[in-house]
Amino acid sequence: MKSPRRRSRNPTMHARLQAFGVHHARALLFSLGKLTQAPFSTLLTLMVIAVAITLPALLYLMLANLQQAAPAWERETRLSAFVADAVTDTELPDLAARLARREDVAATESIPRAQALEEFRAHSGLGDALDLLEENPLPAVILVEPAPDARDPEALRALANALEAHPSISQVQLDMEWVQRLGALLQTLDRLVDLLALLLGLGVVLVVGNTVRLDIHNRRREIEVAKLVGATDAFIRRPFLYGGIWMGLGGGLLALLTLAVLHGSLSGPVQTLARAYGGGFVLRGLQPAEALALLGTAAALGLAGAWVSVFFHIREIEPR
């Protein structure tokens, strides 16, 4: 007696699921059709959403490109270790080799006192004055290139202290100011991206919510009739929610198109500028995963704006 009951329930459950899917598909297509019926106002809404999404995305790409270029700039960071006078020119290469074996050192270059004097003479323009000196006043120098994982300000400071503690090193010179400025700039931009994305994301929610609110107001009679014949609030709000998703997706696609146009117009000049300075920097655009995340975020913001609007307005409409 049990098996016939199971057979009689399964078609009912299947029919319910099928009807549920059909209703959602109809609401999805109906909401898209509603947007296309007013193309000008829809386009204006999508453009506002696209601008709100493009601005934080542009700042994010600026930060990503700076972070991409930062390692190349950090490779230019070198410490100048001034060797004590007791170290001779023959001992200098051995000292440089010992320092190069440190884990936080990538490479070293030794400059003997005579070479240091010649370089100073060539760049200072004080050759005549130097000829008057009886002795070479300049010490030998070992240029130390930090290891890739020892180029942040804290690691560089620790390396400088360790080198200065060496008995054969009299002084270590490290220009930390630009490294600290770069770190502060990247940190500030990272915080600015988060704040701007939050504020403009709220703006997208408000824009979509207001658009849906006006649509609900214009279709008030239609909603009253639907409730009169027994339609639930969930059934009525479904097209509006899908409309919010469509607006979010449309604005996200326009933002991606804008970012692609900007990337295409700037990548050539940036590469030319990089080659002029002897670099091989390539302007970075959005990766596929980042583009999908942008579209997903835009759709979620559109859904959130539509949900807020229908939650407060549809339940207030009752048939007369």
**What phi, psi does 110 have (nearest 5°)?**
-95, 135
Each residue's pLDDT tens digit in the chain (320 positions)?
A: 344 444 444 557 666 666 656 666 776 776 676 777 878 888 999 999 999 999 999 999 988 888 777 665 655 678 889 998 888 888 899 999 999 999 888 888 888 888 877 776 766 655 555 555 667 777 889 888 888 787 777 888 888 899 989 999 998 887 666 667 777 888 888 899 999 999 999 999 999 999 989 888 888 888 878 778 877 777 788 888 888 999 999 999 999 999 999 998 988 888 787 777 666 677 888 999 999 999 999 999 999 999 999 888 887 777 76
Strands (E), 28-186: 79-83, 105-111, 141-146, 169-173
- Structure tokens, 76: 């230019």
CB contact burial 193-220 (16+ within 10 A = b; e otherwise): beebbeebbebbbebbbebbbebbeebe
What are the Cα distances from residue 158, in Å, to 97, 145, 179?
20, 14, 14
Rounded CA gap, 155 and 103, in Å?
12
Amino acid type, 248: G
Question: Which bin fits 222, alpha (ψ -120 to 50), beta or left (φ > 0)?
Answer: alpha
Alpha-carbon span 106 to 102, nearest angstrom: 8
Residue ranges of domains in the chain, CATH in brackets = 23-72+181-316 (no CATH), 78-174 (3.30.70.3040)
| Paired strand residues for 141 | 82, 111
Contact 144, 99 (CB under 8 A): yes
Dist. CA 252–CA 57, nearest whole Å: 11
The answer to whether the CB of 212 falls within 8 A of the CB of 305 is: yes
Chain position carrying tokens 């560089």: 156
| Cβ atoms within 10 Å, residue 108 | 21
Closest-CA residue to 120 (of 132, 138, 143): 138
The tokens of 271 are what? 């590469």
